């Protein structure tokens, strides 16, 4: 299962979702192994994880170009490995052919849209788009949809995830209803991620929210997201489901 986490809008929860989804898959043994690839030169995903031994490991630039590239194991999280960020990402050829590094690969992307984004979205099984439930969030979804059309990308691989959601806010409920009406339950994921300071805290400690605050609603929500996406996995990955 190749998941690219993408939204042109910044600060919507892309990196947070990539990081916590990986841990949630491993925690429930829904994946035999997960590789995270930090394709954002800001390097936030790399910074969120405990320091890795990078001597023999490849970075994201090498992953894009070298079939022999190997990620660094993430200390303290069995089954998790990382292609750390690079600030010299190459312009990819039209089609990407990265090595099968693990049954699950989750790619965190930079905000904005580039040739690399197009190539990654073409390569992915699913493009997961976190968004905040407000007007700008809806406008970002519309733009992403247009970009998919412009580049001939299959819209049915898009999944939308409401982040920093608060069920008691009318605005959030309205946006959720509009997205549901537009995309239906298939593409608007039936899980929302609540707003919680535990998320920012956990990033600072280099831990997933599951490890940092297992009682937090967000921990249960990322576990539920992992179950939903594992249900979308292509057939050959089912052997990894415990």
Ligand X SMILES: Nc1ncnc2c1ncn2[C@@H]1O[C@H](COP(=O)(O)OP(=O)(O)OP(=O)(O)O)[C@@H](O)[C@H]1O
Contact set with Mg ion (CB under 5 A): 14-15, 44
Least Å distance, CB 132 to ligand X, is 9
The residue among 11 and 76 lying less far from ligand X, judged by its C-beta, is 11
Query: Whole-angstrom Cα distance, residue 89 to residue 87?
Result: 6
Given the structure tokens 């590239």, which residue do they identify? Answer: 69
13 contacts ligand X (rule: CB under 6 A):
yes
Asked if residues 85 and 49 have their Cβ atoms less than 8 Å apart, the reply is: no
List the interface residues with ligand X, window 126-155 (CB under 6 A). none
Q: Which does 16 bind (CB under 5 to 8 A by kind): Mg ion, ligand X, none?
A: ligand X
Given the structure tokens 């969120």, which residue do they identify? Answer: 48
The residue among 34 and 233 lying less far from ligand X, judged by its C-beta, is 34
- Interacting residue with ligand X among 52, 62, 176, 196 (CB under 6 A): 196
164 contacts ligand X (rule: CB under 6 A):
yes
Least Å distance, CB 16 to Mg ion, is 8
Q: Report the largest interatomic distance among the alpha carbons of the chain, rounded to a whole angstrom.
A: 51
203 contacts ligand X (rule: CB under 6 A):
yes
If you write DSSP's letter for every residue of 21-84 in order, what string do you get?
A: HHHHHHHTTS-S-EEEEEE-TT-HHHHHSPP---SS--BHHHHHH-TT--PEEPTTSTTEEEEB
14 contacts ligand X (rule: CB under 6 A):
yes
């Amino acid at each position: 299962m190749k998941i690219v986490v993408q939204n042109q809008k910044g600060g919507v929860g892309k990196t947070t979702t990539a990081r916590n989804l990986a841990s949630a898959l491993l925690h429930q043994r829904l994946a035999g192994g997960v590789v995270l690839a930090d394709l954002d030169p800001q390097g936030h995903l790399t910074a969120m994880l405990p320091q890795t031994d990078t001597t023999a490991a490849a970075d994201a630039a090498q992953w894009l170009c070298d079939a022999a590239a190997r990620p660094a194991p993430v200390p303290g999280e069995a089954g998790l490995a990382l292609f750390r960020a690079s600030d010299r990402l190459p312009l990819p050829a039209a089609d990407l052919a990265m090595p099968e590094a693990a049954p699950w690969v989750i790619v965190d992307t930079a905000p904005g849209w580039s040739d690399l984004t197009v190539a990654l979205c073409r390569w992915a099984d699913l493009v997961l788009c976190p968004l905040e439930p407000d007007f700008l969030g809806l406008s970002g979804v519309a733009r992403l949809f247009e970009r998919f059309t412009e580049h001939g990308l299959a819209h049915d691989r898009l999944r939308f995830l409401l982040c920093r959601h608060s069920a008691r806010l009318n605005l959030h409920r309205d946006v959720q209803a509009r997205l549901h009406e537009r995309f239906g339950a298939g593409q608007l994921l039936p899980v929302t991620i609540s707003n919680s300071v535990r998320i920012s805290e956990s990033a600072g400690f280099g831990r997933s929210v599951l490890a940092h605050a297992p009682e937090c609603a967000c921990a249960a929500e990322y576990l539920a997201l992992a179950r939903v996406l594992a249900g979308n996995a292509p057939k050959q990955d089912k052997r990894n489901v415990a």
